[in-house]
Amino acid sequence: MLKLERVLITQGNFSVHADMTIEPQKKYAVIGPSGAGKSSLLGALCGFVPMVEGRLTWHGRDITDDAPGVRPMTMLFQDNNLFPHLTILQNVGLGLRRDLRLTAKDKENVERALCRVGLTDMAQRMPGSLSGGQQSRAALARVLVQGCPLVLLDEPFAALGPALRNGMLDLVQQLVTETNASLIMVTHDPKDVARIADEVIFVAGGIAHAPQPAKALMENPPAELRSYLG
Amino acid sequence: MALRPFAISTRTGVSAAALVALLILAALWAVLTRAEYGSGLGPAEWSAIHFTIVQATLSAGISTVMAIPVARALARRQFAGRGLLVTLLGAPFILPVIVAVLGLLAVFGRAGWLNMALAGLNLPTISIYGLHGVVLAHVFFNLPLATRLLLQAWQTLPAERFRLAGQLDLTPRAVFRAIEWPMLRQTLPGTAALIFVICLTSFAVALTLGGGPRATTIELAIYQAFRFDFDLSRAALLSLVQLVLAGSAAFLALWIIPNISIGGGQDRPHQRWDARGGVQRLVDSIAITIGALFLLMPLSAVIIRGLGGLLVTPASVWQSAVISIGVALCSVAVLLLLALPMAGWIATAKRGSVEAIGLFGIAASPLMIGTGWFILIHPVADPVLFALPVTALVNALMALPFALRILVPPLRDTVQVYGRLSQALSLQGWPFWRWVILPRLRPQIGFAMGLTGALSMGDLGVIALFSAQNHTTLPLQMYRLMGSYQIDAAAGAALILLALSLGIFWIFDKAGRAHAQA
Amino acid sequence: MKYLTLAATTFLATSAYADTPELVVYTYDSFVAEWGPGPVIEKAFEETCACDLKFVGMGDGPALLARLKLEGARSDADIVLGLDTSLIAAAKATDLFASTDVSAEYNLPIAWNDESFVPYDWGYFAFVHETDLTPPHNFRELGDSDVKIIIQDPRSSTPGLGLLMWVKEAYGNEAPAIWNSLADNIVTVTKGWSEAYGLFLEGEADMVLSYTTSPAYHIIAEEDETKVAAPFDEGHYMQVEVVGKLANSDQSDLADAFMKFMVSDAAQSILPTTNWMYPAVMPKEGLPAAFDQSIEPGKALLIPNEAVPALRKEALAEWLSALSQ
């Protein structure tokens, strides 16, 4: 499990406090007003945003200072999740080997992942020749081959249409279930919460509140959350 | 504990920069150790410093001002051959000086086309030697550079502004004041500063067109101190003056020099609704015609003379050509080894001022570096064996500042856009270069390689200090042919040199752009 | 392993090579050019010496001397060929040259008795022009005319230095005035003779500083009789080109043999039609007919070698100040 112990995240002149535990195989939604620090929270978990105070542990091991690439998690950003100059095979393959010396078995793995996300026979295509939805699927294929115990989504599907987005969310849900991973996703849409999340992390007023069961929280939101949901 | 925003290992970059500084300072040190107590700066040296600044100021001012109408005309006219003309505008900058001088003489020389025409009309003829000759040659080299930089800036203006201007039916003058002048005010100082710095270290132009002691640049004075008087202390002193003068000018200019983007000005011009009147049309046509004639006539002269000369070109010219190609390729390799790590360091460094180290290359005297290394190498080995490597190295150093200007901005963008993803995938070190930077920067790397190859191919400088019979580069061989009554053969060699310089640039540039992905 | 093989091959190659001794001769560029005397001299000498003669071209005369100073006593050169009378004193001041006992029956307008240097060819400086020009008859007329000339930089070239001495010898204290009047005739000052002559052939000037023997080249090699040298009535300055042996030469005997060869008929008969100068020793077959058309100066001017360095300094300052204005 991932533990945030009295963590303070500072970026520019705003900061977020967090103290919580992320359980294995659960799906968390991070919600809150714009600019409250949702992305910063995810960035801090991944190691892109410094934690000024407190510590982050993974199964008891302190990973506060670890480089992003060695943490037990993978993240999909709002954009630029694929290298446009590499083929889909290479992009996904980077999840397995950094030097891209893919063995036959690695390639088979990649093909299988691509197949799983519905991109059969797209391995040699360049990202630019794929639709937005297909690009998201390719990025998910890489998440799949990486097989990290934690998957973080910073609204990677925001640019997709509603139907496509729901499709992607369902696929994500299936994938994390298959790989026994935990999912932490930022969203603006209460319907996403209902669709996918077990628990909700509400970020507002400089605090990332500890996770609470989604259903109960959404049915009976506290005052602050209620004003956000409108 | 602040996490670094992104980590390209700075170690190689810092080492490369240190190596550059070491190569230059070791040479300076070597020259100083051999220098006897000198006479300091005499009147001749002060007059060289004065002349250097005057000619660089004039060259920068005239090139920039002349570039305005040409760039403006190119920015608002679409005509057949525009793309080709813009491409050719890139040519003079990478043209070997010695070839360009031959071309300029054919057009502006005493028996050149222009004076023939003037004499035919019973007008007084003009002379190409002296200050105006030096400035003329510098304008020839740098007007195209200025035009490209300005054209590039013109095309960054949002098309919507011209649409708005069209809707308001603004006059061309009003469009200029409202839209174009504010852009120019930002771009002109940097453009002029870049040309000023380039002209400060001018050597071969002053050597061939200076016309006497009146027109001596600092670099030429360094050459004279080394080659004629063997006055090492004066040479070292002048090298220091140049290092400080050109170095500080370059350092100050660093903040305003525009980035050199590849393929600038190749896009279609904006659609414009102003400047449709006959007068504007006429003004633009004149600007383009004069600009094109000024740049293309000397080039044509070299080609026309050279075609005849090819038949009498001796075999030694072809051997030199092979050597020159080898030297150019070595320069390109050295440049990549220095420029890429340095660019990586500069792009991720908090302060851009480290780019100034690259400017050493433009400020340090190649002849000083050459002589310094000659002194260092001589006790342990035959310097002639090192003539070609040292030449390749010095040529790479000269191209370094330009390469950094080309590489750093896209590298910075790449790190910004893909740094996070790369970090999340743990891509560092060589895999990061191999799979992210090199493919993303491929067009810029190709461009920088082409530029270096061409500059190196045409350089006549350091090799002259080390020259031995069998290790002659093509510019030196051409220079020798000129000096041995073999004018036709020299013209042939000039054509070969021209073809090689433009060719090596074209090949690298093309290879960089081929298969470039969005 | 590959490196070992490479090293071994290189070593074997060098040692095989070392069986024939190598004589290194530093000279000026145009001497070693394939159309110059170098290749022919090399072939002819190697037939007699069972050695490998290696010419190394080093720019013009003063550059040759500068290079030698740069290398000092560690120089690989055995012989320096191509210094001239104006540079002899400066060359001796380096203490790098050995004395020699080579001498010959010289055909020079002056007596030769230098202990280190052996003359191999000589000539008179002169302004060369096209036949359709009516040339001035002296420097004063030249200065008053609007005839355009190209000269060489005295700091970098032996003809340039020769011209400096020519004016100084002919006009003494009036030399600065002469240079002032010449300033507006000078189209450009080039680094070496080659550039100047090239520019002249391109039509960049009416006259160029060269040699009285230059027209012979055009007559013989190009059958072109339109180039002539202008006789000046104050006389013409002489240049004697010399060859000398370095004291640190590791091929001393071979170097002596080469110096002897340079004044032998074999070398002397080559020089007129390759270096386009008068031979220091008259060849058995005499000079080519075209040389007869060369002008004969009324007076040969030459400043004694030892007096050159001091005069050079003074004359150079005058020249610089006249041409810097």
DSSP assignments along B10-63, one per residue: HHHHHHHHHHHHHHHHHHHHHHHHHPPS-----HHHHHHHHHHHHHHHHHHHHH
Cα distances (angstroms) measured from residue C297 to each of A89, B156, B325, B399, B491:
87, 70, 49, 52, 35
Inside any domain, residue C52: yes
C38-68: b or e for each residue (b if 16 or more CB lie within 10 Å)? bebbbebbeeebebebbbbbbbbbbbbbbbb
C155 and C198 inside one domain: yes
Same domain? For C312 and C181 the reply is yes
C4 in any annotated domain: no
In a domain, C95, yes or no: yes
Q: In this structure, are C209 and C151 located in the same domain? A: yes
Q: Does A53 touch chain B (CB under 8 A)?
A: no
In a domain, A60, yes or no: yes
Q: How many CB atoms lie within 10 A of CB C103?
A: 14
In this prediction, what percent of chain C has a pLDDT beyond 90?
A: 56
- E strand segments, B351-506: none
Number of domains observed in the structure of chain A: 1
Q: Do A94 and B424 touch (CB under 8 A)?
A: no
Give the Cα separation of B28 and B217 in Å (integer).
19
- pLDDT in the model for residue C8: 40
All chains having 3 or more CB pairs closer than 8 angstroms to chain C: B
In this model, does residue C196 exceed pLDDT 60? yes
Chain B residues contacting C via beta carbons under 8 Å: 44, 47, 105, 109-111, 127, 129-130, 207-214, 224, 226-230, 314, 316, 371, 374-375, 378-379, 382, 384, 464, 467-469, 479-480, 482-487, 490
Nearest Cα of chain B lies from the Cα of C172 at a distance, in angstroms, of 22
| pLDDT tier at B39, thresholds 50, 70, 90 | low
Residues C147 and C213 placed together within one structural domain of the fold: yes
Q: In whole angstroms, give the CA distance from residue C51 to residue C24.
A: 11
- Give the span between the Cα atoms of C255 and C250, in whole angstroms: 9
* Contact across the interface for A99 and B434, Cβ inside 8 Å: yes
Three-state secondary structure of C100-144: CCCCCCCCCCCCCCCCCEEEEEEEEEEEEEECCCCCCCCHHHHHH
Interchain contact, A50 vs B439, CB within 8 Å:
no
User: Does the residue A44 lie in any domain?
Assistant: yes
Residue C186 lies in a domain: yes
Within a domain: B447: yes
Identify whether residues C68 and C49 lie together within a single domain. yes
> What does residue C154 show for φ and ψ, rounded to 5 degrees?
-65, -20
- What's the pLDDT score for residue C84? 92
**Using alpha carbons only, what angle is made at residue C78 by residues C72 and C82, rounded to the nearest 5 degrees?**
85
C145 and C51 part of one domain: no
Touch between C and A (at least 3 CB pairs under 8 Å): no
Q: How confident is the model at residue C279 (pLDDT cuts 50, 70, 90)?
A: very high
How far is Cα C120 from Cα C268, in angstroms, rounded to an integer?
7
pTM of the model: 0.78
Q: A11 lies in a domain?
A: yes
Closest residue of chain B to C196, computed from CA coordinates: B483
Whether chains B and C touch (3+ CB pairs under 8 A) is answered by: yes
The reply to whether B430 falls in a domain is yes
Q: Total structural domains in chain B?
A: 1
Does one domain contain both C176 and C312?
Answer: yes
C212 & C259 share domain = no
Question: What's B413's domain CATH number?
Answer: 1.10.3720.10
Give C239's contacts (C-beta < 8 A, 6+ positions apart).
Answer: C84, C85, C86, C122, C123, C124, C125, C158, C159, C162, C211
Measured distance CA(A53)–CA(A16) in Å, rounded: 11
Q: Tell me which chain B residues have a C-beta less than 8 angstroms from the C-beta of C186.
A: 211-212
Q: How big is the CA angle at A49 (ends A46 and A52), to the nearest 5 degrees?
A: 115
Q: What is the pLDDT of residue C4?
A: 41
Domain with C205 in it = 123-238+299-324
Per-residue pLDDT tens over the stretch B488-513: 888 899 999 999 999 999 999 888 88
Decide: A30 and A187 in contact? Cβ < 8 Å: yes
Beta carbons of B212 and C197 less than 8 Å apart: no
Chains A and B touch (3+ CB pairs under 8 A): yes
* Residue A62 belongs to domain with CATH number: 3.40.50.300
CB B199 within 8 A of CB B59: yes
Please report the DSSP string for B175-213 in residue order.
Answer: HIIIIIHHHHHHHHHHHHHHHHHHHHT--HHHHHHS-SG
Q: Which residues on B lie below 8 Å from A68 (Cβ)?
A: 420, 423-424, 426
Q: Do the domain assignments include residue A15?
A: yes
CB B270 within 8 Å of CB B75: yes
Domain count, chain C: 2
Q: Which two tokens stand for residue A115?
A: 């197949």
Query: Same structural domain for residues C214 and C256?
Result: no
Are A69 and B426 inside 8 Å of each other by CB? yes
pLDDT over 50 (residue A98): yes
**B110 vs C203: CB contact, 8 Å cut-off?**
yes
B58 neighbors B133 (Cβ within 8 angstroms): no
Q: How many other CB atoms are there within 10 angstroms of residue C5's CB atom?
A: 9
Burial class (CB in 10 A: 0-12, 13-18, 19+), B26: middle
User: Hunting for tokens 């090298």 — which residue is that?
Assistant: B239
Nearest CA-CA distance, residue A226 and chain B, Å: 34
CB contact under 8 A, B3 and A50: yes
Contact B218, B49 (CB under 8 A): yes
Question: Counting one residue from B and one from C, how many pairs have CB atoms under 8 Å apart?
Answer: 121
A-B Cβ pairs (cutoff 8 Å, strict): 68
Shared domain check, C178 and C74: no
**AA letter at A146:** Q
Chain C positions touching B490 (Cβ under 8 A) are 198
Residues of A in contact with B512 (CB under 8 A): none
Q: Which tops the pLDDT comparison, B259 or C73?
A: C73
Query: How many angstroms separate the Cα of B49 from the Cα of each of A29, B142, B198, B222, B435?
Result: 70, 21, 15, 11, 48
CB C300 within 8 A of CB C109: yes
Among B133-137, B452-456, C200-204, C232-236, where is mean pLDDT lowest?
A: C200-204
pLDDT of residue B305: 87
Domain assignment of residue B47, yes or no: no
pLDDT for res C15: 41
Average pLDDT over residues B1-10: 54
**Candidates B425, B440, B518; nearest CB to A69:** B425
Of B421, B433, B444, which to mutate for an interface test with A (greatest number of A Cβ within 10 Å)?
Answer: B421
Residues C195 and C225 in one domain: yes
Let me know whether C168 and C274 are in one domain.
no
CATH code of the domain containing C191: 3.40.190.10
Range of the domain at B327: 1-34+311-518
Show which of residues 257-316 on chain C sit within 8 Å of chain B, judged by CB atoms: none
Asked if the structure places residue B11 within a domain, the reply is yes
Cα–Cα distances in Å, from C235 out to B9, B35, C126, C182, C302? 73, 40, 10, 18, 10
Asked whether residue C12 carries a pLDDT value surpassing 50, the answer given is no
Positive or negative: CA dihedral C201, C206, C210, C214: positive
**What b/e string do you get for C262-286 counting C-beta neighbours within 10 Å, with b at 16 or more?**
bbbebbbbbbbbbbbbbbbbebeee
pLDDT tens digits, residue range A50-87?
A: 889 999 999 999 999 888 888 899 989 888 889 888 89
Range of the domain at A8: 1-72+186-230
